C-alpha cells in the first residue's frame, strides 16, 4: 500500500487553489491508472474504440461512426484530441480533417465509463456503460438526435466484439432526482438514486470533459456538500466549465433498500453470483454498520493512498462484506461471497496462464491465500460452467438459501421502514417474478440451474423402472449395466416417466446428443415409446429463453401450452392379453372398447407451461383419469385465449385410436362448454365404460358421475335455472333411445318423444322441456292414441298457463311450442330414427275433466285441491284424504265401465316454489306423482269389488 502526504481534512477553515489543484490531480492520477488497466483488459481493436470514443462525440462528421446530422449536439468541455487519436481517425476515414475551434459550442460536459471497467472484476466479456453528460438546456429534439448518435455508435461497437450502452445524463436533473428511471439500465433506477450515485462515485472513469466536483469535497464535509460546492463556485475556486455536479451522498435513504434489494433478487434469477455481491452490500448498507464504499474510496485518496489495488472498488466491496459477515458469524455466506467474487473476476487460478500474468490474477492469488482455498477447490470452481446435475443442485441450495435470507431481510426491513421508494406495482411485479422462479408447490417442476452452469447435459443416461404399484422411475448418470445400478448414485426419482423426462428436458440434462439406456422393469415402456415422448417434449415444450414482459406478470398466470401424454409405459390391453380374451366386437370406442366396454385411457400425464413460464405436471390414474384431467383442463382454460393443446399416445396397443379419441373429446367439450357466447354454454354427456359423466358450466365446469342410465335419467330430470343445451358425446348411449332424444333439446320448446314397446304392450315417453330438463315415463296402457291425446291436451293447457305469465318468464317463453316425435325402432332395444308426427286429433266424445290446484297454507306447506268436473275435493272437507275421495268419485262416474287409468287434464301451481322459478318439468313431475296416487286408489277399489 503506497501512501503520500494527507490532503486537507475539511474546507471549514478555508482552502487555497493550490490545495484544490493537488486534490484534483490525485483523483486524475488514480483515474488515469484505472483507465490504463481498463485498456489492458481490452484487445488492440477494442482499445482503438475506446480511444476514438471522445472524438466521435466531439465531431459530427458524415464519415465517422455515429453521424446523424451536422446539428446533432456535440463538442466536449475541455477536450481536444491528441495526435495519436487523430492519426487513428485518419485511418478510419482518410478524408477526415480535424480543426481546432476555440469558440465552438460544447454541448457534452463529460464522458464517464461506469461499472467494473478498469477494476478487479473487469474482463473482455464485460459490458461498457457510458454516461454521456450533456448540457441541461438541450431541447427534446436535440436529446433525441444525441440518443440516435449513441445508438449508432453502439451498433458500431459490435464490430469490435463490444457490448456498449450509453445513458444520457443531465447532472442538474439528477441532482434534483428528476432523472429517468432507466438511467442505470434497470427498471428500479428511480428508486435507487443514492445507491446509483454511490456506485458512480466509486467506479466511474472520466474519459473526457469535466470532472466531478464531488472530488473536491473532503469526506468529513460530505454532510455540508451543497454549502461547500456553492462556496467554491461563488469564490471562483473553479471555472464554470471545469466540473459536473451530480450531488453529494452521505447515507442511503431507507426507502431505497427494499427496491434495490428486490431488483437484485430478480437479476439473481439469471446471474446469481453477480447479484449475491450487491444483495449483500444492500444488506450491509441497511444495517448502518459501515460507511459507503464511495466515501471510503474518497477518504483513502485524501489520506494519501495511491495504490490502485487498495482503491479498487471490488476489493473495497469485498473488504466491507468480509468484515460485516465475520462480525455476524455468517461464514457460509462469506464463502458464497468469495465464490461470487472469484467467478466475477473470471481468472482460472488452477490453470497456467497462456500469456503474461495479469495484475488481476496476482491480486486474486493474494486473496486466495488469505482464504486458504485448496487446489482441488480451485479446480472444481474453474469447471463450474460444466457442472452437472448433482453439483448444480448442491450449489443451487446455497444460492437459494442466500436469496431467501435476503428476501426475508428485505421484507422485515420494508415493514419497519414504510417510506419505500419503489412503487406498489414494481413490488408486486418483482414478487411475482420471484414466486415464479423459487416458489415450491405440489406438481411444479423446479428449474435447478439459475445461471450456475452453462452445460448440464449428459452424454449418457440410464433410466430404470423399479418396483410396481406404484412404480418408481430412477435416473442415473452413464450408460450402465444392470449389475452396476446398485453401486451408482440416483440423480432423480419420480413416480412418472413423463415427469422424469420433463425434468431432464427443462433443465437441459437430456439434449439431442444424449444417449439413454432403458431398464423398463415391470412397465410396458419400449425404446420406441421412450424416444417418442422425448421428441414430443422437444417439439411441443421448448425450453423458453426469452424474457417475459412486465404486463404478463401483472396478470394472473394462465396455461399457455399443455401436453397430455396418455398411457406412458402402460399397455391398455394387458388384462385381456393375460386372460387370452379375444376382443371381437364392433365397439371400437377407446372409452368403451369391445364387448367388455373397456376404458383404454389408464393414465394421463398433463404437462403445462403457464404464462409465467412455470412448468407443472399433474398425473391422473385409474378409471376416472380422463374425466378428472378433462375437468381440470377446462377449469384452467381461458376461453378467450385457450392454451396450445397437444395430445400424444405411444403405448404398445391402439395408440393412434386412443390419441384421436381423446383429441376429439377435448375439442368437443372445449367448443361446447367454453364457448365465448355464454348463452350457448351448456352440458356435455360422456360415457366411459358403463358410467356416465355429465359436465356442466356454471362458474366453473362441474362433473356429476352416474353409475347407470337410470341414475342419469334422474339427474337429467332435475330443474334448470335457465336453458342449458346438452351435447351428447358421439359414442355415448349407443344402445339407448336417449342417444336420439337428448341431442334434440332446444330452448323454448317442449318436445315429446314416444316409443311403443309392442312386446310388453307399453308406451315409453321422453319429454324435454323448455329449459332442457328430461322426463322419462312408461305407460302400461296399450292405447297409444288415448295416452297421446290426454298428454298432448295437458301440454296445451300447460303452455297456455305459462304464456299467461309471459312477463315473469320472458327468458324462456317467446318461442315456446310443442313438438312430437315417434321413435321408430327395429326392436325394443334398437331405435333407428326419429319421425316427426302431427298432434293427435281432438276426441269428440265427452270426458271427465280432472284439474288439480296446488297452493300453500299459512305454514308454507303444499295443499292440493282436485276438481273432477264441477265436483271439488279439498283438504279441509276431506281431512287430507281428498285424493281417495276423488278416486271413489271417478269410479262412480264410469257407471260400471272398466277403468284402468285416469289422467289429470290440468294443473295449476304458484309461479315459484321455495324461491325457484317453475318450468314445465315441475308440472309434469307433479302430474305423474298425483296420477300415480289416484290410480293406486282406483286399483285398490277394483281389487275390493269382487269381495263385496
Identify the top-confidence range among 325-334, 525-534, 535-544, 914-923.
525-534
* CA separation for the pair 333, 610 (Å, rounded): 34
What's the whole-number mean pLDDT along residues 546-575?
A: 88
182 versus 178: which is more confidently predicted?
Answer: 178
Q: What is the pTM of this model?
A: 0.80
What's the whole-number mean pLDDT along residues 119-136?
A: 91
* CA separation for the pair 609, 506 (Å, rounded): 11
300 versus 185: which is more confidently predicted?
Answer: 300
758 versus 819: which is more confidently predicted?
Answer: 819
Query: Which residue stretches of 734-783 are H helix?
Result: 738-741
Question: In this predicted structure, what is the pLDDT of residue 91?
Answer: 87
Question: In this predicted structure, what is the pLDDT of residue 640?
Answer: 87
* CA separation for the pair 404, 396 (Å, rounded): 12
pLDDT at 488 over 80: yes
Question: In this predicted structure, what is the pLDDT of residue 759?
Answer: 62
What's the whole-number mean pLDDT along residues 202-212?
A: 97
pLDDT in tens, 397-411: 888 788 778 878 877
Q: How confident is the model at residue 418 (pLDDT cuts 50, 70, 90)?
A: low
pLDDT in tens, 454-479: 888 899 999 999 987 788 999 999 99
* CA separation for the pair 356, 572 (Å, rounded): 68
Identify the top-confidence range among 497-501, 815-819, 868-872, 894-898.
497-501
Q: How confident is the model at residue 910 (pLDDT cuts 50, 70, 90)?
A: confident
Nearest of 206, 182, 214, 217 to residue 196 by alpha carbon? 182
- Which strand (E) or helix (H) includes residue 311? none
Q: Is 105 exposed, middle or buried (0-12, 13-18, 19+ CB in 10 A)?
A: exposed
Q: Is 553 exposed, middle or buried (0-12, 13-18, 19+ CB in 10 A)?
A: buried
Q: How confident is the model at residue 13 (pLDDT cuts 50, 70, 90)?
A: confident
- Which string of DSSP letters, residue by residue, matches 102-147? TT----EEEEEEESSTTSTT--TT--EEEEEEE-TT--HHHHHHHH
Q: How confident is the model at residue 583 (pLDDT cuts 50, 70, 90)?
A: low
Percentage of residues of the chain with pLDDT beyond 70: 90
Q: How far is CA 331 from the centre of its chain?
A: 37
What is the maximum alpha-carbon separation in the chain? 141
Q: Is 779 exposed, middle or buried (0-12, 13-18, 19+ CB in 10 A)?
A: buried
pLDDT at 24 over 90: yes
Burial 697-735, CB ≥16 within 10 A → b, else e = beeebebeebeebeebbeebbeebeebbbbbbbebbbee
pLDDT at 770 over 80: yes
Q: How many CB atoms lie within 10 A of CB 847?
A: 14
What's the whole-number mean pLDDT along residues 852-878?
A: 86
pLDDT at 831 over 60: no
pLDDT at 669 over 60: yes
* CA separation for the pair 193, 198 (Å, rounded): 9
340 versus 8: which is more confidently predicted?
Answer: 340
pLDDT, averaged across the chain: 86
Question: In this predicted structure, what is the pLDDT of residue 270?
Answer: 73
pLDDT at 758 over 80: no
pLDDT at 948 over 50: no
Phi-psi region of 924 (alpha: psi -120 to 50; beta: other; left: phi over 0): alpha
pLDDT at 503 over 90: yes
496 versus 585: which is more confidently predicted?
Answer: 496
pLDDT at 183 over 50: no
402 versus 159: which is more confidently predicted?
Answer: 159
CB under 8 Å to 880, separation ≥6 — which residues? none
pLDDT at 187 over 60: no
Identify the top-confidence range among 93-102, 465-474, 659-668, 690-699.
659-668
Q: How far is CA 453 from the centre of its chain?
A: 25
Q: 686: cis peptide before it, omega within 30°?
A: no
pLDDT in tens, 890-904: 888 876 565 667 889
pLDDT in tens, 228-275: 999 999 999 999 999 999 999 988 888 788 777 877 777 777 778 888
Amino acid at each position: 500500500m503506497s501512501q503520500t502526504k494527507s490532503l486537507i481534512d475539511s474546507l471549514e477553515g478555508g482552502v487555497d487553489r493550490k490545495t484544490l489543484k493537488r486534490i484534483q490531480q490525485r483523483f486524475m492520477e488514480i483515474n488515469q491508472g484505472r483507465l490504463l488497466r481498463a485498456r489492458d483488459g481490452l484487445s488492440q481493436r477494442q482499445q482503438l474504440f475506446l480511444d476514438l470514443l471522445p472524438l466521435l462525440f466531439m465531431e459530427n462528421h458524415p464519415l465517422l461512426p455515429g453521424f446523424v446530422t451536422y446539428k446533432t449536439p456535440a463538442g466536449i468541455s475541455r477536450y481536444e484530441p491528441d495526435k495519436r487519436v487523430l492519426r487513428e481517425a485518419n485511418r478510419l476515414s482518410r478524408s477526415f480533417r480535424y480543426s481546432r475551434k476555440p469558440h465552438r459550442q460544447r454541448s457534452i460536459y463529460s464522458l464517464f465509463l461506469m461499472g467494473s471497467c478498469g477494476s478487479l472484476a473487469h474482463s473482455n466479456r464485460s459490458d461498457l456503460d457510458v454516461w454521456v453528460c450533456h448540457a441541461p438546456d438541450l431541447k427534446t429534439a436535440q436529446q433525441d438526435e444525441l440518443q440516435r448518435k449513441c445508438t449508432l455508435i453502439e451498433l458500431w461497437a459490435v464490430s469490435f466484439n463490444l457490448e456498449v450502452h450509453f445513458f444520457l445524463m443531465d447532472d442538474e436533473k439528477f441532482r434534483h432526482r428528476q432523472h429517468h428511471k432507466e438511467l442505470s439500465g434497470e427498471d428500479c433506477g428511480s428508486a435507487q438514486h443514492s445507491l446509483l450515485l454511490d456506485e458512480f462515485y466509486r467506479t466511474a472513469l472520466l474519459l473526457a470533459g469535466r470532472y466531478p466536483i464531488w472530488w473536491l469535497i473532503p469526506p468529513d464535509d460530505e454532510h455540508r456538500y451543497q454549502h461547500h460546492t456553492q462556496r467554491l463556485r461563488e469564490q471562483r475556486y473553479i471555472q464554470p466549465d471545469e466540473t459536473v455536479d451530480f450531488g453529494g451522498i452521505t447515507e442511503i435513504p431507507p426507502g431505497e433498500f427494499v427496491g434495490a434489494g428486490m431488483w437484485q433478487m430478480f437479476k439473481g434469477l439469471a446471474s446469481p453470483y453477480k447479484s449475491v455481491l450487491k444483495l449483500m452490500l444492500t444488506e450491509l448498507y441497511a444495517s448502518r454498520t459501515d460507511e459507503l464504499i464511495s466515501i471510503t474510496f474518497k477518504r483513502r485518496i485524501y489520506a494519501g493512498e495511491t495504490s490502485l489495488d487498495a482503491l479498487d472498488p471490488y476489493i473495497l466491496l469485498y473488504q466491507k462484506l468480509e468484515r460485516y459477515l465475520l462480525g455476524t458469524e455468517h461464514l457460509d455466506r462469506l464463502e458464497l461471497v468469495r465464490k461470487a467474487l472469484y467467478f466475477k473476476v473470471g481468472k482460472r487460478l488452477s490453470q497456467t496462464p497462456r500469456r503474461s500474468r495479469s495484475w488481476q490474477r496476482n491480486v486474486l492469488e493474494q486473496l486466495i491465500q488469505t482464504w486458504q482455498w485448496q487446489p482441488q477447490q480451485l479446480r472444481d470452481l474453474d469447471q463450474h460452467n460444466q457442472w452437472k446435475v448433482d453439483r448444480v443442485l448442491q450449489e443451487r441450495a446455497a444460492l437459494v438459501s442466500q436469496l431467501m435470507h435476503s428476501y426475508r431481510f428485505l421484507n422485515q426491513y420494508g415493514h419497519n421502514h414504510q417510506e419505500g421508494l419503489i412503487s406498489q406495482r414494481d413490488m408486486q411485479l418483482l414478487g411475482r417474478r420471484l414466486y415464479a422462479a423459487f416458489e415450491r408447490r405440489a406438481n411444479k417442476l423446479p428449474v435447478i440451474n439459475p445461471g450456475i452452469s452453462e452445460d448440464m447435459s449428459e452424454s449418457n443416461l440410464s433410466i430404470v423402472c423399479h418396483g410396481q404399484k406404484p412404480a418408481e422411475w430412477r435416473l442415473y448418470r452413464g450408460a450402465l449395466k444392470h449389475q452396476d445400478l446398485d453401486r451408482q448414485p440416483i440423480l432423480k426419482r419420480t413416480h412418472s416417466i413423463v415427469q422424469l423426462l420433463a425434468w431432464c428436458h427443462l433443465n437441459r440434462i437430456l439434449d439431442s446428443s444424449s444417449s439413454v439406456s432403458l431398464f423398463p422393469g415391470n412397465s410396458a415402456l419400449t425404446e420406441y415409446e421412450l424416444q417418442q415422448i422425448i421428441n414430443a417434449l422437444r417439439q411441443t415444450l421448448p425450453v423458453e429463453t426469452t424474457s417475459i414482459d412486465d404486463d404478463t406478470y401483472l396478470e394472473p398466470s394462465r396455461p399457455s401450452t399443455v401436453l397430455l401424454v396418455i398411457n406412458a409405459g402402460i399397455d391398455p390391453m394387458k388384462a385381456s392379453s393375460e386372460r387370452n380374451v379375444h376382443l371381437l366386437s364392433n365397439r371400437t370406442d377407446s372409452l368403451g372398447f369391445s364387448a367388455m366396454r373397456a376404458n383404454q385411457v389408464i393414465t394421463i400425464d398433463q404437462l403445462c407451461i403457464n404464462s409465467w413460464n412455470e412448468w407443472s405436471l399433474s398425473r391422473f390414474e385409474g378409471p376416472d383419469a380422463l374425466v378428472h384431467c378433462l375437468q381440470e383442463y377446462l377449469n384452467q382454460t381461458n376461453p378467450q385465449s385457450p392454451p396450445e393443446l397437444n395430445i400424444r399416445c405411444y403405448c404398445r396397443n391402439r395408440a393412434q385410436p386412443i390419441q384421436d379419441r381423446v383429441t376429439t373429446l377435448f375439442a368437443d367439450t372445449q367448443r361446447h362448454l367454453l364457448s365465448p357466447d355464454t348463452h350457448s354454454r351448456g352440458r356435455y354427456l360422456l360415457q366411459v365404460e358403463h358410467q356416465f359423466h355429465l359436465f356442466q358450466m356454471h362458474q366453473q365446469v362441474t362433473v356429476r358421475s352416474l353409475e347407470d342410465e337410470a341414475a342419469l335419467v334422474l339427474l337429467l330430470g332435475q330443474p334448470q335455472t335457465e336453458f342449458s343445451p346438452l351435447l351428447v358425446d358421439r359414442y355415448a348411449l349407443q344402445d339407448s333411445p336417449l342417444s336420439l332424444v337428448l341431442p334434440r333439446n332446444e330452448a323454448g320448446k317442449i318436445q315429446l318423444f314416444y316409443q311403443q314397446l309392442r312386446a310388453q304392450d307399453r308406451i315409453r315417453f321422453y319429454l324435454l322441456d323448455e329449459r332442457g330438463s328430461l322426463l322419462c315415463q312408461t305407460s302400461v296402457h296399450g292405447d297409444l292414441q288415448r295416452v297421446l291425446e290426454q298428454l298432448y291436451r295437458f301440454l296445451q293447457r300447460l303452455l297456455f298457463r305459462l304464456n299467461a305469465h309471459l312477463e315473469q318468464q320472458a327468458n324462456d317463453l317467446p318461442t315456446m311450442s310443442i313438438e312430437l316425435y315417434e321413435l321408430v325402432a327395429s326392436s325394443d332395444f334398437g331405435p333407428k330414427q326419429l319421425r316427426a308426427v302431427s298432434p293427435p286429433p281432438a276426441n269428440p266424445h265427452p270426458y271427465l275433466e280432472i284439474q288439480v290446484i296446488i297452493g300453500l297454507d299459512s305454514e308454507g306447506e303444499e295443499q292440493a285441491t282436485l276438481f273432477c268436473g264441477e265436483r271439488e275435493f279439498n283438504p279441509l272437507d276431506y281431512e287430507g284424504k281428498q285424493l281417495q275421495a276423488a278416486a271413489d268419485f271417478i269410479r262412480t262416474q264410469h257407471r260400471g265401465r272398466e277403468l284402468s287409468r285416469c289422467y289429470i287434464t290440468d294443473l295449476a301451481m304458484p309461479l315459484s316454489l321455495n324461491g325457484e322459478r317453475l318450468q314445465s318439468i315441475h308440472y309434469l313431475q307433479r302430474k305423474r306423482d298425483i296420477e300415480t296416487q289416484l290410480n293406486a286408489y282406483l286399483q285398490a277399489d277394483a281389487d275390493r269389488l269382487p269381495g263385496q
